[in-house]
Every structure is written in structure tokens, then in C-alpha cells.
Structure 1
Amino acid sequence: MRKVKVRLRPMVSKINMPTVIKTAVLPGDSMESLFIATQVGEIFYIRDGAIRTFLDIRPRIIKLGASSGGYDERGLLGLAFHPRFYQNGLFYLHFSVAGTQGPGALSGSFESFKPDPCDPKTLHLKWVNRETQYDHIDTVEEWILQSNGQLQKRRTLLNVRRPFLNHNGVNSLNFSPETGNLVLTTGDGGSGYDPFHLSQNDMEIAGKIMEIDVGKNPFTNAPPVVTRFDELPAPVQETLTVMAKGVRNIPGIAYQRFYHQYIKHVGIVGQDLVESIFSFLHYKPIPVTQLVQASLLNAELDQEGFINFGWRGWEGAFPTPMMKSCSANPALDEKIIAYYDEAVKTSVRRLLPVTSYFHKDPRPDKFGGTALTGVQPYMGNEIPDLTGSLVFTDLARNEGSRPPARGVLAYTRVQPDCKLNDFHVIETDYDFGTSSAYYVSLGTNLDQTKLYLGVYGSTKVTDVNQGTVFEIVS
């Protein structure tokens, strides 16, 4: 693979944490505008070099960072424009709702849970008292840009109760060019190691990729707050199809056209060991009505062709390990397989990643990563060495180096057979000086010929106005 070097061209700076970067053509316009959603609830668009406010829902967003020292994974997480947005003005939001703060599903901090292979109780925890023991509520809403220029909420599609503040996904709403449906990606609910084993449970909304048929109207303007598919009213169930399960945390889904089909790309954020990117051409989705029916009858559904990323038994291509530090000699840190039985159970049912990168990597041309924050195909010609590649971002190099932090751009090639492939770091020329530069999001335009990078000067959402959005250019 070739060494690639790119330039970062600043487009807008001093904004809040950018969670979604994508383009759309406004009704009555003739060119794409670049839209940027921020974690705190603002949506801006850039047109002719000027930045304007499209929508501000900050009053609707839960108070961020108050209970976690400024760090938070809630907020405005998803923004998607209907494929006919230019004609119908419809767009969709996924965010954490103001006033829904709960005590959390476990006592202690959201990161406190770690399984103990010597204590079976820790391997089989149950999420009980869900109506009172939860962290917050996420919602998915449909909005419309009316012909008079006014923005209005039309309806709520889902209300989902979440156990912890983390692993809610980001860039979590995208439309499928294959089915025309809205695709929602959800993380496993948070803490660490998926304590309640939600991602493999077919009834749990957490840890899934699902399609919502927004063309169907279930005539339920205020769906109930739920955590499971079988708690939804039947008309809402009929709008939902599950594409995949076994998700830990996820920065969205991306579609890459290959002749008359689309390769689907999904990045899964790792636990302690590895970050992984999965790609697939064919899949067999399962309607939620079938999942619920099978659960009621206690029947086994045929899941041949259904996508399973393997979490929590597998972290990428590896059985989920736990690291135990050897204080006398850190080089001899111990690795234990935490969920051995689950790794065996899902070993042949899971999809293998097309590429992985590690939190520690001694190879000279690689890097130690922290967290995968974006995956996008590049189909443009301006950066010829990247044409047809899959580009991805990591939050920050994890190499024991001193601050300031630096994010990483990298790329891999994906073949139609979606077999394992290597990756290479993309060099950048931008000088961030003494400021930290966490790579928090990656976006593209409608035909995937441009790439946009969201950078933030802190990992804390309470450190405001430290964001810059760059275009990645030759």
C-alpha cells in the first residue's frame, strides 16, 4: 500500500464538538451545503464560504458532562436527510433528551464494571428495575423544513431508555441507498464489557443496527419509552428491521457503491485491545415482528446470513480479553479471556473484520490507537492514491507520548469479497502547535468525492468552542 500524504484545509473553527458532518441540497437550492451537528445540539451549514445556523435544539439536550467530569457520550448523536430532502424537506435527529437524567443501571461510575472470570455472578448480571435504574432516554425524531422556511418537529419514531451515559453511538442516523430506509446504529448501552449482555440478545434494542421504514406511519405520535423490541406497540414493530447485532459502540454505517450493489462498512470501537472495521455485501435482515414472535413462542429463528459482529464474546477478531497488570513487570501483563463460553458459542456465527488496529502496536509503520471515530469510503479523484479506499479516523495516538494529543487518519482497501486487508497511516501536514487535536468525526459529501474531518481540542464536551472542521485535500 502506498504512503499517502494529505493537507487539512480549515473550513470552520471555534465550534462545539462536531458529531456529524455531511452534505445535503436544501430545497430550492442547486448546490450541496455542508452540515455540521454538534454534541450540544447545534446544526450549522456552510454555503458559499459562510456558516449559518440551520437548527438549535440545545434546550432539548440533556445536561452534558455534569456528572462525569466534563466527559460525555450523550447529546446530539445523529442527523440524516431524507433521500428526497430537496423535495420534501424531511430530516431526522437522534439525541439524548433534556430532563431524563437517571441514577444509572449500576451503582458507581459508568466505567466501574469489569467482569471477574473467578466470580460467575459478574458474568451474568441482569438489568433490573429498568424504569428507575437507567441513565437517560434517547429519542429519534422526524422534522420538516417547511416551504415557508420554518423548521418543525413532525413526529417521534423511537424513545429508548439507556443504562449508562456511554456507548450511544455517533453519526448514528444514515439512509440506506439500497432500501431507502433510515438506518439507526446503537451501541451496547455502555459501561464496559456489556455487563447485561444486551448486544447479543435479540429482544434488546441496544447493540444493534436497524432500519426504520419512515414511509410507514404507525399513527403513534408518542411511542412509549422502551428498552426492548417486544415493549413496542405492534404498528411500531412493523416499521423496524434488524440488520445486525453484536455491536459494542459504533460511529455509524457507510455505503460504498460497487457496480449495482453496495458494500456496507461498519466500525466497531474496541474495549482494551483492538479497533475493528467490518464490511459486508450480502446480509439477511430480520423484521422485528419475526423476532418478537419467535421470542413469544420460545422458538429458534433461522439466522443464516444475519450479521453478527460477535461482541461481547469477541472483540474484533479476538476472544474478548481482559488485561491484568503485572506491577513488578508491566511487559508481562496478563491477558485473560473474560467470556470464553460466549466466544465459543458465537465463534462460527460472527462476521470477521476486514481490518483491525491495536491499542499497542510495535510495528514501525503502524500506530497504537484509542477509539475509532469514523469510517468513510472515498470515491473522488483529487487524492488518486485514496480513490476507492476506506478512510478511517482514530481519536488519538496511544503511544505513551507526552501531550498534546494527536488523532490519526488511516486507510485500507476493501475488495468485493470483504476479506482481511492491511491498513496504512495517512500523513497530514497541518501544524496544530501546542493544542491537542482529537479526531472526533469523519464525514463525506453525497457522492463520496470529498472528505471532512472534525477535530476537537479536548475530550470534554464542557470545554466549549474548541472544534474545527477541515476538508481533507490533496
Structure 2
Amino acid sequence: MKKITLCLMSMIYALSFSQDVQLELFADGFSDPLCIRNAGDDRLFIVEQDGAIKILNSDGTTNSTPFLDIDSRVSSGGERGLLSLAFHPNYATNGFFYLNYTNNSGDTVISRFTRSTANTADSTSELILMTISQPFSNHNGGDLHFGPTDGYLYISTGDGGAGGDPGNRSQNLMDFLGKMLRIDVDNTANGNNYAIPADNPFVSNPNALDEIWAYGLRNPWRFSFDSDTNEMWIGDVGQNTTEEINRVPVTPAGYNFGWRCYEGSNTFNTSGCPSAGTLTFPVVEYPIPPCFCNVAGGQVYRGSTYSDIFGVYIFATTGNGEIGTVDSSNNLVNQGNFNNGVWVAFGEDINKEMYIADITGSIHRVQGSVLSVTEFDEQKASITPNPASDNLNINTSNNNTINSISIIDLKGSTLLSEQNILVSDKNIDVSFLSKGIYLVKIEISNNTTTVKKLVIN
């Protein structure tokens, strides 16, 4: 596979530790991919802007038949289209998944569909939950995620467009636009195909919509949850000067992120605005000029392959191919331009390994530079011969049994994986490996892991 190597630019905002991001091409041939999701197995689901969802398999192949195709219902182009996908937490049982798309009238639709087979969905099963009027074609927001602890569906909406939010829709609590909404899709109430979570912040407030979880957003194109910390990260696109990233705990709710009163931490239009002390300002912001490069919010890496980027938030900027990182102390690092890619969305697989979509048609795997090692102990296992060419023997000390064996290349790709071995002496055929250096990861029954360097002649 083609590899894109890291090219660091001279401008580095802050650096608290070494964290090198690299990209590896995983698959291409997609039409305007905008969203990457997994459904609890080893497949990835790629959402295309014109209304199709494709299944990308773990070997990098794509199914010839789309999982779903609703292009006749979708108005696509610019900031419109099939924008996001979220699988129900119990998808394996109920087959429900949810879409955010722009209909042929230009309005936002949030709807539920149902799986028909393992690899296809029923296009006639649509149940519309919400239709949100859009006054203009831009600033639709467009993301969907289920909360990792509460199981509610979160929906990001933009301010409706037209520049500057002239109607101040983001601050208007009687308007769905410029908000983060939260609904209960497992129940119905008040004639809707959903219910309102009892702890939504404006429940029973006659001057606010019950669905609102947070407000004061301009165009939250992509947001994500870090399930390890129960925090939400939001990339909010700026107006003239500033792109921003917000990071907040899921509890409490009712945040006001400040638009249109403030753009980032800069005053924009404070007429009729609340006190700045009541607002939630971004944890990271960066200037738009000289490049008009919108933030594409990413997610926190929680995979097990790379230790240097574990717990690091990774995001992108469209328009200049750049990728950035934010560490746990909110230090921002510009990782540089990656092959001038038009990066629009991040996603993760079942193992929490991260991927990024280039709207020109490709999906790349996000990598760090330091492979994770749970524990290293020379005495727990031995591998012979080393160097090897055809066969490898793995033997443990003290008659401990081997649970699993993996062989990993220096890019972090797993080339061999054997599970439930349950013997203390194991021979493995390694004749398929090319000459070079590899890592052998051995998980042993006494709850330890040994990693050995293997040389193939």
C-alpha cells in the first residue's frame, strides 16, 4: 500500500511530547466520502455525499453492492448531501441505524433505517424522526453520534448560513439551528418518533426547545466522544478569523459556545449577548488567514497499536491538507501538510484504530510512530531461530501456555494472528514474510505480554 510520510511545517504551536502522525492509504475509489463508521464488527461503512453507503472490508476491498443507496432523496453538492451515519448501540439485535441528510427541498432530515441482510439495508424502511428547515444551502452541521454512556442520539446543526448568522439563530433557543440536539430514539412522545431525555437542560422551559443540549455553534461539521473520559470534542468552523475546537464533559449540559457573540475567543457581535462569564470558550483555536481552511473535527485515538498518539485528539483542516493534534493538556501541534489531501472526516474500527477520509475518494489509516508494548520481559518466551526464513518456534518458560501470537510489521500492520493456542510450544510458518524486521507479540496465560524482534532472512 502507498504510504504518505509526515512533512512537518515550520510553524508548531506547542509541543509537550513527541507525537508523530502518519497516514497509510487503505482504500480508494469512493465518490466524495464524508463519514466513516463501524457497526461493531471488522467492517467499515463509508458514507458518500450523493446518498450511498459502501461497505469497506478489513482487507481493503469494497463490496460491489452498496449497503444503502438513497440518492433520489438526497440533495447533494457543496455542504449538502448524505452527511452522517450512526448505528444504534443495539444494532446487532435491532438492525437500526440513523442518517443525517439534506432532502430535495434543501432541509435537514434525521431518519432511521433498518438492516435487511448483513450487507444490505432496506431502503423502504425509513422512519423520519426530524425535519429541520434550512434557510440557506450552507452551514448544515451534519454529524450524528450516540452518547457512550447515556445511549441518546446527539445531532449537530449549523447556524443556517448566509454569513454572520444575521438572524442570531445560534443564540435563539426557539430555533434548532446552531445547536447540539439530544433525543431518545428508543421511545416516543408528544406525537414525535422520539422522546426527550428527562435531563435535557431546557425541558419544561417555555422559551426553549426541549431537544437542545447545547447552543451557540456556527457550523459544527464534525464532533466526537472520547468514551474513556466521557467528553465531547467539537470542531466548529469559523467566520472570518478563527477556527475553534471545543472540549466539554457530557455532564452537565446547557453549554453556550458563544457564536455569534464571539468567534473563538474574539468578539464578533455582542449585541444582545449574555455575559462572557456564562459562555464556554474553545480549548484550542487557530487563525484562518492566510488560508481559508475549515476545521474538520476529529477524535481521540484510543487504539492499542501506537503509544505516542494514545489519548491525543487528531483533527484536520480542509483546504490545505494539514492535520493537527491536541494533547490532554490542550497543547496544539500542527503536524503539517499530508499530500494536499482534502480531509473531511475521521472514524475508527472495532479496535479503535483510526481512519481519515479524503473527499477526493480515498480512506487512509492514521498511524503513530511508536508501537505499543504492554510488557517486555526476555525471560517469558523465546523465539528460535532468529534470524528465521521458513519456520519459527515459540516456547514459554515455566510451562506457561500461549494465548495468542501476532506478527506485526514496523508500520503497525498485523500480518499474522493466531488466537486460543493454549500450548507452551508452538511452531509457525513464516515463509510468507519478506526479508526485514518484524515484531512478534506473544500473550501468555499469566496475563503478561512479550514482544520480540524477529529478523527474516
Q: Residues 212 and 240 of structure 1 are in contact (CA less than 8 Å); yes or no, is this contact kept in structure 2?
A: no
Query: 1:247-277 CA distances to partner (integer Å, 9 max, x unpaired)?
Result: 100123311134xx50111111111111111
Q: For the residues of structure 1 that align with 2:264 and 2:275, how far apart are their CA atoms?
A: 12
Is 2:101 aligned against 1:95? yes
Q: Residues 80 and 92 of structure 1 are in contact (CA less than 8 Å); yes or no, is this contact kept in structure 2?
A: yes
Q: For the residues of structure 2 that align with 1:206 and 1:253, how far apart are their CA atoms?
A: 16
Match runs of 1:269-418 below 5 Å: 269-281=237-249, 283-285=251-253, 306-320=254-268, 339-342=269-272, 345-360=274-289, 370-397=293-320, 407-415=321-329
Q: Secondary structure at the match of 2:271?
A: helix
Q: Secondary structure at the match of 2:277?
A: coil
Q: For the residues of structure 1 that align with 2:157 and 2:244, how far apart are their CA atoms?
A: 16
Name the counterpart of 2:149.
178
Is 2:21 aligned against 1:15? no
Is 2:112 aligned against 1:138? no
Name the counterpart of 1:120.
none
Q: For the residues of structure 1 that align with 2:108 and 2:250, how far apart are their CA atoms?
A: 30
- Tell me by how many angstroms 1:24 deviates: 1.2
Q: Secondary structure at the match of 1:184?
A: strand
Gaps of 5+ in 1: 26-30, 66-71, 101-135, 224-233, 286-305, 321-338, 362-367, 398-406, 416-420, 457-465
Name the counterpart of 1:293.
none
Q: Residues 275 and 369 of structure 1 are in contact (CA less than 8 Å); yes or no, is this contact kept in structure 2?
A: no
Structure 1's 86 and 442: CA in aligned 2 closer, same or farther, altered over 3 A? same
Q: Residues 354 and 414 of structure 1 are in contact (CA less than 8 Å); yes or no, is this contact kept in structure 2?
A: no
Q: For the residues of structure 1 that align with 2:243 and 2:212, how far apart are their CA atoms?
A: 23
For residue 43 of structure 1, the aligned residue among 53, 65, 82 is 53
The residue identity in structure 2 corresponding to 1:473 is Q
Q: Which of the pair is proportionally richer in helix?
A: 1
Structure 1's 319 and 158: CA in aligned 2 closer, same or farther, altered over 3 A? same
Q: Secondary structure at the match of 1:32?
A: coil
Q: Which of the pair is proportionally richer in strand?
A: 2
The residue identity in structure 2 corresponding to 1:77 is L
Is 2:178 aligned against 1:168? no
Is 2:337 aligned against 1:423? no
Q: For the residues of structure 1 that align with 2:252 and 2:21, how far apart are their CA atoms?
A: 38
The residue identity in structure 1 corresponding to 2:136 is F
Q: Residues 262 and 270 of structure 2 are in contact (CA less than 8 Å); yes or no, is this contact kept in structure 1?
A: no
Q: Residues 267 and 277 of structure 1 are in contact (CA less than 8 Å); yes or no, is this contact kept in structure 2?
A: yes
Structure 1's 23 and 248: CA in aligned 2 closer, same or farther, altered over 3 A? same
Q: For the residues of structure 2 that align with 1:54 and 1:147, how far apart are their CA atoms?
A: 9
Name the counterpart of 2:186.
215
So what's the TM-score if we normalise by structure 2?
Answer: 0.68
The residue identity in structure 2 corresponding to 1:423 is L
Structure 1's 56 and 266: CA in aligned 2 closer, same or farther, altered over 3 A? same
Q: Secondary structure at the match of 1:348?
A: helix
Q: Which runs of 4+ in 1 moved over 6 A?
A: none
Q: Residues 268 and 276 of structure 1 are in contact (CA less than 8 Å); yes or no, is this contact kept in structure 2?
A: yes
Q: Residues 236 and 297 of structure 2 are in contact (CA less than 8 Å); yes or no, is this contact kept in structure 1?
A: no
- Tell me by how many angstroms 1:315 deviates: 0.6
Q: For the residues of structure 2 that align with 1:310 and 1:346, how far apart are their CA atoms?
A: 10
Q: Residues 68 and 121 of structure 2 are in contact (CA less than 8 Å); yes or no, is this contact kept in structure 1?
A: no
- Tell me by how many angstroms 1:147 deviates: 5.7
Q: For the residues of structure 2 that align with 1:51 and 1:318, how far apart are their CA atoms?
A: 45
- Tell me by how many angstroms 1:239 deviates: 11
- Tell me by how many angstroms 1:446 deviates: 4.5
The residue identity in structure 2 corresponding to 1:353 is P
Q: For the residues of structure 2 that align with 1:443 and 1:342, how far apart are their CA atoms?
A: 39
The residue identity in structure 2 corresponding to 1:158 is M
- Give the total of aligned pairs: 337
Name the counterpart of 2:411.
none
Q: For the residues of structure 2 that align with 1:388 and 1:190, how far apart are their CA atoms?
A: 34
Name the counterpart of 1:471.
365
- Tell me by how many angstroms 1:241 deviates: 3.2
Name the counterpart of 2:348.
444
Q: Residues 220 and 235 of structure 2 are in contact (CA less than 8 Å); yes or no, is this contact kept in structure 1?
A: yes
Q: For the residues of structure 1 that align with 2:276 and 2:192, how far apart are their CA atoms?
A: 41
The residue identity in structure 2 corresponding to 1:378 is Y
Structure 1's 467 and 147: CA in aligned 2 closer, same or farther, altered over 3 A? closer
Q: Residues 260 and 270 of structure 2 are in contact (CA less than 8 Å); yes or no, is this contact kept in structure 1?
A: no
Name the counterpart of 1:118.
none
Structure 1's 277 and 214: CA in aligned 2 closer, same or farther, altered over 3 A? same
Query: 1:93-139 CA distances to partner (integer Å, 9 max, x unpaired)?
Result: 111112x1xxxxxxxxxxxxxxxxxxxxxxxxxxxxxxxxxxx2221
Structure 1's 246 and 270: CA in aligned 2 closer, same or farther, altered over 3 A? same
Q: For the residues of structure 2 that align with 1:257 and 1:48, how far apart are their CA atoms?
A: 23
Q: Residues 342 and 358 of structure 2 are in contact (CA less than 8 Å); yes or no, is this contact kept in structure 1?
A: yes
Q: Secondary structure at the match of 1:146?
A: strand
Gaps of 5+ in 2: 1-15, 195-203, 369-457
Name the counterpart of 1:453.
356
Structure 1's 211 and 220: CA in aligned 2 closer, same or farther, altered over 3 A? same
- Tell me by how many angstroms 1:369 deviates: 5.9
